[in-house]
Amino acid sequence: MDGRNIKIAPSIIAANWADIIQELKKAKRGDFIHVDVMDGHFVPNITLGSDIAKAVYEITGKPLDIHLMLDRPDKYIDRFAFDGVFRITFHYESNALLIRTIEKIKSYGFKAGISISPDTPVRRIIKILALVDQVLVMTVYPGFSGQRLVEKTVKKIHQLNDIREEMNLNFVITADGGINRNNIGRIGPVDEVVMGSGFFSEPT
Ligand code: ZN
């Protein structure tokens, strides 16, 4: 760790759902809860929807960070317009009109984030960096929890931090995927990390 105060967001899809009440208690130790929403199209997996996300908030009272891994994320934003949600993040690679989607997210009073998959270079999103509140760097290929960190993505975190300083912007940088207590120190200048299996496998 470099002494920065990095926020930790447990990713609820990585919880043991057979013991979900206990796992949600554990998740309350995080700064907020990360919810991965997958549609089976943009990624080859299906996960939670808005009803489960709502229940997670009702049980934990923790703010929710919604990560949409969906085609046409703009069509689903209104489903997440409930108490507890503070930010919605969608993928650059999804079939979204970027600016319109950001504006739609903000119209609900949410913070808006853009996410890039491991193979998407930072330069692709430079034009919209002034419009977003967060950049979520996928440090694994999106779709499944429990993967190993893709090392080349760490460079993008450094690039984003440099750009943020040069352009005097104030989006937060989040890393998502394959992060645990052992590798969090070499993930680069992030403000937040999402932790899945790395969080829930920690002893209570
Ligand atoms: Zn995520």
Instruction: Write out pLDDT tens, residues 42-92.
Output: 888 888 889 999 999 999 999 999 999 999 999 999 999 999 999 999 999
* d(C-alpha 200, C-alpha 15), whole Å: 6
pTM of the model: 0.94
Task: Just list the catalytic residues.
Answer: 36, 176
Q: Where are the domains of the chain?
A: 7-200
CA of 163 to the centre of ligand 1 (A): 23
- Read off φ and ψ for residue 64, nearest 5 degrees: -110, 135
* d(C-alpha 86, C-alpha 84), whole Å: 6
CA of 183 to the centre of ligand 1 (A): 17
* pLDDT at residue number 204: 67
* pLDDT at residue number 4: 66
Q: Report the residue count for the chain.
A: 204
CA of 171 to the centre of ligand 1 (A): 17
88: left (phi over 0), alpha (psi -120 to 50) or beta: beta
Q: What is the overall mean pLDDT for the chain?
A: 93
CA of 67 to the centre of ligand 1 (A): 5
CA of 107 to the centre of ligand 1 (A): 22
7-200 belongs to which homologous superfamily?
Aldolase class I (3.20.20.70)
* d(C-alpha 6, C-alpha 20), whole Å: 26
Query: In this structure, which amino acid lies at residue 50?
Result: S
* d(C-alpha 139, C-alpha 78), whole Å: 28
Q: How many CA atoms lie within 13 A of 51 on its CB side?
A: 0
- For 145, the token pair is 């929890």
Which secondary structure element, helix H or strand E, spans residue 30, and what is its range? none
Please state which of the ranges 8-12, 84-88, 200-204 shows the lowest mean pLDDT.
Answer: 200-204
- Residue given tokens 């979520």 in the structure block: 136
CA of 14 to the centre of ligand 1 (A): 10
CA of 35 to the centre of ligand 1 (A): 6
- Range list of H helices, the chain: 20-27, 50-60, 98-107, 153-166, 197-200
- 4 or 53, which is more confident: 53
